Amino acid sequence: MIPKIISLVIFFLTYYLIIFGKGNKAVIAFSMGLLISLVKVSDTLRVSNVGSFIDFNTLGILLGMMIIVGILKTTGLFQAIAIYIVKKSNGNLIYIFVSTLIAVAILSSVLDNVTTLLLFSPIIIYICQEIEIKPETFLFPMIFAANIGGTATMIGDPPNILVGSASGTSFLKFLLVMIVPSLISLFLTILYFLYTLKELKLVKKDKLNIVMESDPKKAIVDYNLLKKGLLIFVLVIVGFFIHEYLDYEAALIALTGSAVMLMISKKDFDEISSEIEWDTLFFFVGLFAIVKALEDVHVIQDITNLIFNFTSHPYILILIVLWGSGILAAFMGAVPVVTIFIPIAKALVGTFPNSDLLWWALALGASFGGNGTISGAASNMVIVGMIENNFNRKIKFAKFMKLGMKIATLGLLVSSLYLYLLLKL
């Protein structure tokens, strides 16, 4: 009983410190992961056993893709895409708005959401300044588009990488299942903003003349590296599609691609280290240790039993995982919630026909729920911080939540119907 109490105290203390911003969340999670090992609540939490509770497949995919995208970013490719969208619009702000959201969603399905938004944000902020509209008019929908787009693939969002690795699902199967609710949610989200953002239709074309003069070709600073880098990137994505047939882990493919990318770019690890989100990697390591402790002292089993004693109806179990992870992700963040729910999902899978739908419920719930508040996803916090710094204004938590919860609820409702149809097939 004492190990269980100690584990729960450390768990709740960790999330209190993270949710209320009492320090760097990666440092908090990693430190608490060490603490829960030091107090010896479980004999398995030893350095010699680290491979049994830290998912190196997840860490490998993240690290490999961070290096590949980081090197591609230095070529100017993504800035050129953003400028091209503006040029192609012929001054039509609605075209720019819709095209940007679609481009952000597509890129976020294969790149990190934060990276995608950081690449698009400078030119969008510039447009907002030129046409004199509030930056959140453009940037908030971009956040939601990135989070929705990232939901579609196994590498689009860290929670998906966790779910994909834990469930053993192939990249292709993950895509085929998740792309449908992602596309529907993106379509409905765009329609919602086109209906509610009346100011987009009132902007005169001549205000975009300066932006229209930009040349996307000038954004590319290294054509040679761009061509080689794109080839490697495409091969890595193809590798993800066929990795189960090759009998290779997705992490091995991502890390191999990143190694080749480093060699052809003639960059070393020190040069590219600034592009690697070390905070994210250490955040995962700490959470893995804490969740392993909760498993070992049977807290996870107690929660699973509680859920199953409440109901054994398949669809209600799916909704509990979907909406439970979605609501918690909005306030706690998608990654910590998925880390907690994975052992619960593992325990429930096999208890009813088509129970693997619980994995999709978890991935959809955490990803769409992350739109709910500023703290729901790293991309939300980064862009809100950028608005506050560039425009010297404070974005209230309640203001973001009022809009974010609508988009999150929309995604969760679409997912509820979608999972019901899959359950009945």
In tens, the pLDDT along 359-413 reads 999 999 999 999 998 878 877 877 887 777 767 777 787 888 899 999 999 999 9
SS3 133: coil
| Residue 94 identity (one-letter amino acid) | I
What pLDDT score was predicted for residue 209? Answer: 64
Token representation of residue 92: 């039509």
Angle at 153 between CA 151 and CA 154, to 5 degrees: 105
- The rounded Cα 176 to chain-centroid distance in angstroms is 18
Query: What pLDDT, on a 0 to 100 scale, did the predictor assign at position 21?
Result: 67
Positive/negative CA dihedral, 206, 209, 211, 216: positive
- Which token pair is 101? 């959201």
Let me know: does 53 contact 160? Beta carbons within 8 Å. no
H helix intervals, 90-222: 93-108, 113-131, 136-150, 158-167, 171-196, 209-212, 216-219
Question: What is the Cα gyration radius of the chain?
Answer: 22
Phi, psi of 206 (to 5 degrees): -65, -20
Give the whole-angstrom CA distance, residue 372 versus residue 330. 5
Check: CB of residue 389 under 8 Å from CB of residue 152.
Answer: no
Residue 77 vs residues 63, 99, 107, 218: alpha-carbon distances, Å = 21, 17, 12, 10
Question: DSSP label at 47?
Answer: G
SS3 349: coil
CA dist 345 and 410 (Å) reads 23
- Residue 280 is predicted with a pLDDT of 75
- CA-to-CA distance for 186 and 206, rounded, in angstroms? 30
Give the model's pLDDT for residue 40: 85
Enumerate residue ranges in the chain where pLDDT < 50.
Answer: none
Round to whole Å and give the CA distance between 13 and 39: 15
Residue type, 327: I
pLDDT at 374 (0 to 100): 81
Q: How far apart are CA 166 and CA 70, in angstroms?
A: 26
Q: What pLDDT sits at residue 205?
A: 61
Distances from the Cα of 63 to the Cαs of 53, 291, 422, in angstroms?
18, 22, 33
The token pair at 30 is: 């990693």
